[in-house]
Structure 1
Amino acid sequence: MSEFLPEVLAVEILARLSIKDLSRCRCVCKTWRSLINHRGFAERYLDISPVRFVSFYDKGFYLLDVEGKNLVIQNPQKLELPLDESMIDESTCVLHCHGTLCVTLKNYTSIVWNPYSNQFKIVPNPGIYRDSNILGFGYDPVSNDYKLVTFIDPIGSSTAQIFEFRTGSWRECVPSPYPDWHYRERIGTFLDQYLYWIAYRSNVDRFILCFNLSTYEYQKLALPVYKEGVTCSWLGVTKKNLCVIEYVTCEKEIRVSVMDKTGSWNKIISLSMLDFIDVQDRKCDYQVEFVSFTKNNDLFLTFTGYSDDFETGAEDREKKKMFLYKTVDNTIKQVRLCNSLPGFQFLGEYVETLVIVDRIFI
């Protein structure tokens, strides 16, 4: 780079800038442009970029950084949706892949949108659509294409429809072998070239539906087998492995299991709700609302509690709390907002990346 600034050090400095600042740095000189455009730099940037969480609040989207040194969030960053905000509400789903968001709209279409370049594309409705249709958004390395997946439920069957951004059109896949199952979350978890959903018929009759974005094949994966009592389950990714977070109501227990390369599950975390909620707050009936891992593999959790004190207003009876469980030293830190939490609805994660996704917006 120069005798005063080695290239390794320049990479570490530049990798800590925002996407907008890097766009300016690309114009400084050919050397910097070549360095920033290099695939290795993009991978380093992705490693450093923190996970932030998209939330819906006051008719808009906000980004919250919970990994900062200060666990009091002063000014959540508002994302300026390129469409009228009346097109979204609390029922909106947000999916994320490589720095790009896929947002469902009220008219049953979707918008694929990069918040930093402000590029966007409207994805048309593939046909029959309901608010319960499950969704997935991910990248297929075989075809080098991004794909949006939704399951259409005609009578007696369930068929995956795939929107291929390379062709700009929907294509129909073979019907699902599990058409009459329900799904814990509408949004699929993306890892490598696969999408995952938890399917269930009861608390004990459950499995993971895996969908291959390259071959369009289905696979059934077993969930961890523990004692009964699980009421809520979430899929996630930690250290590039699929994990499942479960909440056992009767025991007020939160447990996390990770799938290894053999397909076996190993329980890595077991927490009690009592570890998070103060004694004076236990009169509220707190439930786990949102759970996800951060880039540092810490566990971010939000709880919603309801008080039976009817002398207070409806808004005051609802309480929300956010926590960060630090896996390195097994400590729990409460995350606070400068304003009140009620009204914030956490929708999913977001990570800035330099991965070029222009093919989406062709």
Structure 2
Amino acid sequence: MKRTRESIASSMKRTRESIASSTTRHRSKPAKELGSFADLSSLIITNILLQLPIKDVSICKCVCKTWNALISEPYFATLYSQHASLGFLLRTRNLRLVSRTLHLLEYQPKKFRRAFDIDVVNFNPKFKLPLRNANDTYQPTPYKPEDDKFSVVNSCNGLLCLSEPYTVNHLVVCNPIIGEFIRLPEAIGIANTRKPICAALGFQPKTNEYKVIRMWKRCDGWCYKSDVMVVEMHTLGTATWRNVEVDPMFSFTRLGSPTCVNGALHWINYDDKNKTRSILCFNFESEKFQSFPSPPHPHHKRLSITMVELKGFLYICESTVNSCVVWLMKKYGIGESWTRVFCSDNFNGIPLCFGLCRPVKHFENGGGALLIQNSYSCDSFIYYEPETRVFKVYSVDGAVSPWFELFPHSPGLISLKDVVKGGNIEVQNVYSRCAKVRVPEENESLSKIRRI
């Protein structure tokens, strides 16, 4: 018995010594340092940043010099434009006030939503548009509010094309996210000889150039000749416009929803005389117009039609007071490939009064999403995902006027200084001291957008 106790005691002593020795050996090893973002490759960091909303990317520029340099690179700005989801710019409408403030609405992907997050639309900080006559704001002479309003023509890769409401002679291209803008050259002596039709901004991938098209109708005396069209093209970074030959077979008097895809600009071409419509296309490489059919449509007098681009595809949305239909062109340029991907019948009897309706997410694999301005209430809009069949109604608060307008826009970081590089073009910034001037008639920004 005594030997047994001695044996056990000896065994326990050896065990304690073994544990102590092992602990000493482990403690003698240097602790493994935790990794940091600095250890990640630039490729991994770039992929992470490309997934973030524009607001978060702007914040990331302040993290360190390395990230600031990476995000400021033109190559990153181009990549971000290619990955950016379609959002919307919201601006209040008031005939007595100057509406310079834009609010960005971004769709929030599911992978960035929290489990308890009920909102899928981000209401980001406001951005400013330039004034049309910024130099005149220092003059004591009163002027009308409409003298400083810009109309938003279209959006392309994060850049906006702006024009005066009743002419396409005074044009501006800006990036509202970073505040840069340029004023395009004006044509002299044409105010009384041409009637404006439309203008639009587009991008030519092969040459990496941004171009603006504007169209006029020639006037002889007091008569506008509908068959004499003048088309001019301007390349950003140059100082002139040049004429583009137009095939006489193409006739257009009313164009809408300018959209750039596949290196070409597209419009909905309305033929009011024959009560028909088609898609008019201008290819930047060939500098030629072509036309292809639009989806079959009902002859409804109060039909609202919009066209947008999502993931390289053309979409057309038709809406009336009590119906909404979304068409997708699956094969570019093929009229027979128009496919109806959504119809208001999908609501299964849910009453809804449709205003302007636009798709905001690509309809594939049962997905897709719509943004609808409610006709019953001019100060609200509706976000709807057919896959989940859930409506989310948002109310616009804080506006003097309840009316507002939505513009399709994919936010980007492309700098106009890089776009016009090499050209003797002045790039101004709306946030500079001179451009910060506030006119007495300027509209207040919205306080918030809340979910009802």
Kindly, what percent of the aligned residue pairs are identical? 18
- 1:227-242 → structure 2 map (5 Å cutoff): 227-229=298-300, 231-242=303-314
Distance of 1:351 and 1:321 partners within structure 2 = 21
Instruction: Give the match for residue 404 of structure 2.
Output: 345
Instruction: Give the match for residue 21 of structure 1.
Output: 59
Q: Which has the larger displacement, 14-23 or 220-229? A: 14-23
Instruction: Give the match for residue 109 of structure 1.
Output: 170
The answer to whether the 8 A contact 1:62-1:76 is kept is no
Amino acid of the structure 2 residue aligned with 1:65: L
Amino acid of the structure 2 residue aligned with 1:110: L
Q: Which has the larger displacement, 262-271 or 226-235? A: 226-235
Superposed CA offset, 1:292-346 (max 9, x none): 42579421111334xxxxxxxxxxxx74431112143233221222346954332
Distance of 2:283 and 2:152 partners within structure 1 = 21
The answer to whether the 8 A contact 1:276-1:332 is kept is no
Amino acid of the structure 2 residue aligned with 1:135: A
Match of 1:63 among 100, 103, 108: 103
How many pairs does the alignment contain? Answer: 337
Instruction: Give the match for residue 311 of structure 1.
Output: none
TM-score (norm 2): 0.63
Would the alpha carbon gap of residues 175 and 233 (structure 1) be closer, same or farther in structure 2, given more than 3 Å must change? same
Would the alpha carbon gap of residues 70 and 152 (structure 1) be closer, same or farther in structure 2, given more than 3 Å must change? farther
The answer to whether the 8 A contact 1:319-1:342 is kept is no
Would the alpha carbon gap of residues 226 and 180 (structure 1) be closer, same or farther in structure 2, given more than 3 Å must change? closer
Distance of 2:341 and 2:154 partners within structure 1 = 26
The answer to whether the 8 A contact 2:317-2:325 is kept is yes
Moved over 6 A (4+): 72-76, 273-277
The answer to whether the 8 A contact 1:51-1:351 is kept is yes
Match of 1:120 among 181, 199, 203: 181
TM-fit CA distance, 1:223:
0.9
Distance of 2:124 and 2:295 partners within structure 1 = 36
Distance of 2:297 and 2:229 partners within structure 1 = 30
Distance of 1:276 and 1:111 partners within structure 2 = 45
Superposed CA offset, 1:170-202 (max 9, x none): 0110125456433352x4111121111111224
Distance of 2:324 and 2:175 partners within structure 1 = 34
The answer to whether the 8 A contact 2:175-2:414 is kept is no
The answer to whether the 8 A contact 1:319-1:341 is kept is no
More helix by share: 2
Amino acid of the structure 2 residue aligned with 1:289: L
Mapped pair 1:163 → 2:234: yes
Report the 3-state secondary structure (helix = DSSP H, G, I; strand = E; otherwise coil) of the residue aligned with 2:291.
strand
The answer to whether the 8 A contact 2:265-2:282 is kept is yes
Superposed CA offset, 1:1-51 (max 9, x none): x944433653355342635435445x623x873587384685257525561
Amino acid of the structure 2 residue aligned with 1:33: A
Amino acid of the structure 1 residue aligned with 2:312: K
Rg: which structure is higher?
Answer: 2
Would the alpha carbon gap of residues 35 and 352 (structure 1) be closer, same or farther in structure 2, given more than 3 Å must change? closer
Report the 3-state secondary structure (helix = DSSP H, G, I; strand = E; otherwise coil) of the residue aligned with 1:207.
strand
TM-score (norm 1): 0.77
TM-fit CA distance, 1:265:
0.6
Would the alpha carbon gap of residues 64 and 4 (structure 1) be closer, same or farther in structure 2, given more than 3 Å must change? closer
Report the 3-state secondary structure (helix = DSSP H, G, I; strand = E; otherwise coil) of the residue aligned with 1:148.
strand
> Tell me, which stretches of 5 or more residues in structure 1 are unaligned?
306-317
Mapped pair 1:325 → 2:363: no
Report the 3-state secondary structure (helix = DSSP H, G, I; strand = E; otherwise coil) of the residue aligned with 1:111.
strand
Amino acid of the structure 2 residue aligned with 1:291: R
Match of 1:359 among 390, 394, 419: 419
> Tell me, which stretches of 5 or more residues in structure 2 are unaligned?
1-33, 109-116, 135-144, 219-224, 426-452
CA RMSD of aligned residues (A): 3.7
Report the 3-state secondary structure (helix = DSSP H, G, I; strand = E; otherwise coil) of the residue aligned with 1:261.
coil
Match of 1:291 among 342, 353, 358: 358
- 1:189-208 → structure 2 map (5 Å cutoff): 189-202=259-272, 204-208=275-279
Amino acid of the structure 2 residue aligned with 1:21: I
